[in-house]
Structure 1
Amino acid sequence: MGLSATGLGSGMDITSMVNKIVEAERAPKQERIVKNMNDVETNISAYGRLKTSLNTMKDLMYNFRRDNTFAARSTVSSNEETVSASATHLAATGVYSIDVQQLAQSHKLVSEGLDAEEDFGAGQLTLKLGGRTATIDIEQDKSSLLDIVRTINSEPSNPGIQASVINDDSGARLILSSDKTGEDNLISIGVNAIPGSPLEALAYDPVSPTNNMNEMQVAKNARILIDGLASVSSDTNSFSDAIRGVDISVSKLTTAESGPITVRVDEDRDAVKGALEEFVDAYNAFYQVTKALSKYDPDTQQGGPLIGDTVIRSAVSQMRSLFTTPIEGASDSIKTLSELGISTTMEGRLEINDSMLDKQLKQNFSALESFFGGNQGFARKVEETVQNFTGAGGAIRNRESSLGDQRTRLESEQEKLDRRMEDLETRTLKQFSAMDNAMAEMQGQLSAMMNIMPA
């Protein structure tokens, strides 16, 4: 209410009177808009909770299917400090012996003793490591051994050679180290300078029988022997798919006394059981949301925001149907969720029969992938069912869109009401002000007449 006036002629509080008239006109319309807006916001929030609980199940099943969780493998090493392993669903179960014959090493070079204070002069150093090359310029006034070390280490195109200096009785020694292990990652240092330049002391060619720098550490591949037959090498201490679906990492050499390390690959029943428990928890959380949104409290005679809503009934019904419908193409040993030991209680929640589930995981683990996986498996059917509700064009998305339209209309109604009330306030205030002015004028005329009348 931006306008105000005091009744100079009438003595009345015109502003207060105008406010009461406007509020009396606004109240019923404002009450309806507020109530409807609250209902819309409550329903939008309710559908949001329902959508989130459904999408949680969909996302779980998508991740399980993408990661092949229901064909998971576990690995156990007899000596984790020497050999560790991990396996994907592609790995065949079995026991493998691993002899670690050699660990991967990086190439290291060391110079003869040098004078750390000497200027090596201008020139170029060409650094090579494996198939990577970089050429760096050495400037005349920045050519001490420490300057060269800084230049090598700060070169953006450095192929992976780290330079450092150690001091011993023979003088300062330049150390060059590869940042990668393996026989293919040999260091090569080419020198382009005037004949006789001190920079030549830093040259190294791995195929040359004579060099100014010496090998401090030979570049080596790691090498393992699998089951006493298959010899496998790697430029790192990791071996990928030396055994199909198994990644092996080695840290120490095995010895004749200790013998080979045993790596066992097995079906990861614990991971699968944990995934199933996660899905059951997600469904039960969804079911609790549906109960909260659609419940009726006889004591308060109040219902949830979505009481009687067909979307909730349909979602619960379709999910329950999935639990009992056989999956085409699945193994005869597991065709429904209930055959796996997961069933619906009288209340409507899911529960796990642990003994039945453990038995199925032990006896029919290989059947899980055909039941859950693929485009026709249980996981995919859960995704599709949820998508029909929460995806574009789904029932919940349609309801949310309709509620969004209602909110927009109510906001428009609120704006129109505010404008009408402002107009009403302005008109009413003008009318009262005009009346007040007229009364003031009449009072002035009366007072003048009284003054001219004889006493």
Structure 2
Amino acid sequence: MGLSASGLVSGLDINNLVTQLVEAERAPKQGRITKQLNDIETDISAYGRLKDALDKMKDVMSKFRDDHTFAARSSASDDSEAVSVSAEPDAMTGSYSVDVQQLAQSQKLVSSAFTEGMDFGAGSMTLQLGSESLSITIGDTENSLSDIANLINKHESNPGIAAAVIKDDDGERLILGSEKTGASNTISLSVDSSVSGELNNLAYVPGSVSNLNEVQQAKDARIVVDGLATITSSNNTFSDAIPGVKIEAKELSAGSPVNISVSEDKAAVKKVMEEFVDSYNAFFQITQSVAKYDPESQTGGALVGDSLIRSMTGQLRTVFSSPIEGAPESMKTLSEFGVTTTREGRLEIDGDIMDKHLDQNFSKLGEFFDGNNGFAKALEKTIDRFTSYTGSIKNRENSLNDQKDRIQDDQAALDMRMQALEERTRRQFSAMESAMGQMQYQMSAMMSMMPAMGNQ
């Protein structure tokens, strides 16, 4: 507030009068500007919702541009507690029998009983597990069976040998166990030849007489596929028996082979189609809400009468109904694949038709969706015409933002005019107050002179 008129002379609430006069001048112009800005923001929001819905539709359909969608495999086992199965994309499809004849296991050695706390003497020993080894040095002290077990367990180069000491009625026993399964992961223990004393009693060479006895043999897992192919594995997982298929043996078959199967993952394709239908119906719902007109209330959505809405829905329906070059004769269009349009304009899936084509034409779905003239490519191209940086929606948004900038300039100009009007009005009231004050002063002076003039 640059100027102020007190109203002390006139008795008027000048500040309130100025505010009311300025607001009366501002109100109709401000109302038009506010409505225009609100309408533009509503339109921009509506176009944004349409673009987001189209982008979602495109993202869903892009899954059909991914080779893994049609290469995906589903797998099943008649007895998953005995044999589990999983399949990688492009795995060989088919049904197989798996007879689990042997499960993989690790080796375990147990020593003879030694006197509890016995001193085994100083020296060195080397333990080997398969092709890996570790060497430990036992000192003059801390050379009991428990000390030796601790040296093995804590060694940084331990290849996977677990040592423990148990006590029974006969004394202490050393247990050595492999943490790795498989026939090749056997344990051997050699002692420095210069060592004399009890340490030599811990040496173990497979197949020789020793104070260490094998209580559990290292074994490979073994399965027979389709009664013909015998395959072994150091663990219970078989990754090469069937190309792209991983089989895990969990229990012995006991003469009753487990049937497993690998097939195209038809459910994955159907799921993507359901997502696509949902995404289109969400887009369609938005078009209805932003373009709908209610004749009773004479109100409508933000984009009532917008030709772009008709253009978008029309071009999308053209893609839906256009034949796909290279597709099977019985599956040339989206509706023939089992995606049909309702009377209201939404999409829905006919599960029976779709399942039939998934069973009969799965190998040709790649061409239907991702061929040179495939449905996914055609849809993507159509959507891009609306959502790309140079697309129709972006052009509309740019035009609206230009209008918004011009209206915001009008707002700034209105604010400046109203500020000037307020200052001008305050000056006028200030001048009026000053003039009234001067008149009151003159009147007071004249009134004070009148008695003196009457006495002359």
The yes-or-no answer on 1:34 pairing with 2:34 is yes
Partner of 2:56: 56
Partners of 2:104 and 2:181 within 8 A in 1: yes
Task: Give the Cα separation in 2 of the matches to 1:431 and 1:12.
Answer: 14
The yes-or-no answer on 1:45 pairing with 2:45 is yes
Task: Give the Cα separation in 2 of the matches to 1:425 and 1:187.
Answer: 100
Cα distance change of structure 1 residues 436 and 339 upon mapping to structure 2, 3 Å threshold: same
Partners of 2:178 and 2:186 within 8 A in 1: no
Q: Report 1:208-287 matches (<5 A).
A: 222-234=221-233, 236-240=235-239, 242-256=241-255, 258=256, 260-287=257-284
Task: Give the Cα separation in 2 of the matches to 1:452 and 1:185.
Answer: 132
Q: TM-score, normalised by structure 1?
A: 0.75
Partners of 2:106 and 2:178 within 8 A in 1: yes
Cα distance change of structure 1 residues 299 and 216 upon mapping to structure 2, 3 Å threshold: farther
Q: Which amino acid aligns with 2:269?
A: V
SS at match of 1:366: helix
RMSD of aligned C-alpha atoms?
A: 5.1
The yes-or-no answer on 1:404 pairing with 2:401 is yes
Deviation at residue 53 of structure 1 after TM alignment: 2.0
Deviation at residue 80 of structure 1 after TM alignment: 0.9
Q: Report 1:424-435 matches (<5 A).
A: 424-435=421-432
Post-superposition CA distance 1:267-311 (Å, at most 9, x none): 444443343333223222222222222122111122221122222
Deviation at residue 133 of structure 1 after TM alignment: 11
Partners of 2:4 and 2:430 within 8 A in 1: no
Which of 327, 333, 350 is equivalent to 2:347?
350
Post-superposition CA distance 1:173-218 (Å, at most 9, x none): 798875x766788999999xxx99xxx99x99999x9999999977
Partners of 2:74 and 2:262 within 8 A in 1: yes
SS at match of 1:453: helix
SS at match of 1:372: helix
Partners of 1:127 and 1:158 within 8 A in 2: no
Partners of 2:70 and 2:264 within 8 A in 1: no
Task: Give the Cα separation in 1 of the matches to 2:305 and 2:299.
Answer: 13
Cα distance change of structure 1 residues 268 and 112 upon mapping to structure 2, 3 Å threshold: same
Partner of 2:382: 385
Partner of 1:359: 356
Q: Which amino acid aligns with 2:291?
A: S
The yes-or-no answer on 1:23 pairing with 2:20 is no
Cα distance change of structure 1 residues 48 and 187 upon mapping to structure 2, 3 Å threshold: farther
Cα distance change of structure 1 residues 224 and 391 upon mapping to structure 2, 3 Å threshold: farther
Task: Give the Cα separation in 1 of the matches to 2:17 and 2:152.
Answer: 86
Partner of 1:123: none
Post-superposition CA distance 1:107-155 (Å, at most 9, x none): 889999999999xxxxxxx99999999999xxxxxx9989x979988x9
Partner of 1:299: 296
Cα distance change of structure 1 residues 237 and 6 upon mapping to structure 2, 3 Å threshold: farther
Cα distance change of structure 1 residues 323 and 447 upon mapping to structure 2, 3 Å threshold: same
Q: Which amino acid aligns with 2:325?
A: E
Partner of 1:308: 305
Partner of 1:139: none
* Further displaced range: 214-223 or 26-35: 214-223
Task: Give the Cα separation in 2 of the matches to 1:248 and 1:57.
Answer: 37
Cα distance change of structure 1 residues 40 and 228 upon mapping to structure 2, 3 Å threshold: same
Deviation at residue 75 of structure 1 after TM alignment: 2.3
Task: Give the Cα separation in 2 of the matches to 1:190 and 1:399.
Answer: 84
Structure 2: tracts of 5 or more residues without a match = 119-125, 137-142
Task: Give the Cα separation in 2 of the matches to 1:380 and 1:416.
Answer: 50
Aligned sequence identity (%):
52
Post-superposition CA distance 1:202-240 (Å, at most 9, x none): x99999x99999999777654433223334455554444
Q: TM-score, normalised by structure 2?
A: 0.75
Deviation at residue 79 of structure 1 after TM alignment: 0.6
* Further displaced range: 39-48 or 373-382: 373-382
Q: Report 1:111-190 matches (<5 A).
A: 168-169=167-168, 178=179
Partners of 1:68 and 1:373 within 8 A in 2: no
Q: Which amino acid aligns with 1:407?
A: K
Q: Which amino acid aligns with 2:349?
A: I
Partner of 1:324: 321
Partner of 1:8: 8
Partner of 2:121: none
Partners of 2:44 and 2:400 within 8 A in 1: yes
Deviation at residue 38 of structure 1 after TM alignment: 0.9
Partners of 1:73 and 1:87 within 8 A in 2: yes
Task: Give the Cα separation in 2 of the matches to 1:2 and 1:221.
Answer: 96
Partner of 2:79: 79
The yes-or-no answer on 1:446 pairing with 2:443 is yes
Partner of 2:97: 97
Deviation at residue 12 of structure 1 after TM alignment: 1.2
Structure 1: tracts of 5 or more residues without a match = 119-125, 137-142
Task: Give the Cα separation in 2 of the matches to 1:337 and 1:243.
Answer: 36
SS at match of 2:11: coil
SS at match of 1:323: helix
Partners of 2:129 and 2:178 within 8 A in 1: no
Q: Which amino acid aligns with 1:394?
A: G
Partner of 2:434: 437
For the pair shown, which has the larger CA radius of gyration, 1 or 2?
2
Task: Give the Cα separation in 2 of the matches to 1:132 and 1:410.
Answer: 80
Deviation at residue 404 of structure 1 after TM alignment: 3.5
Q: Which amino acid aligns with 1:245?
A: G
Partner of 1:140: none
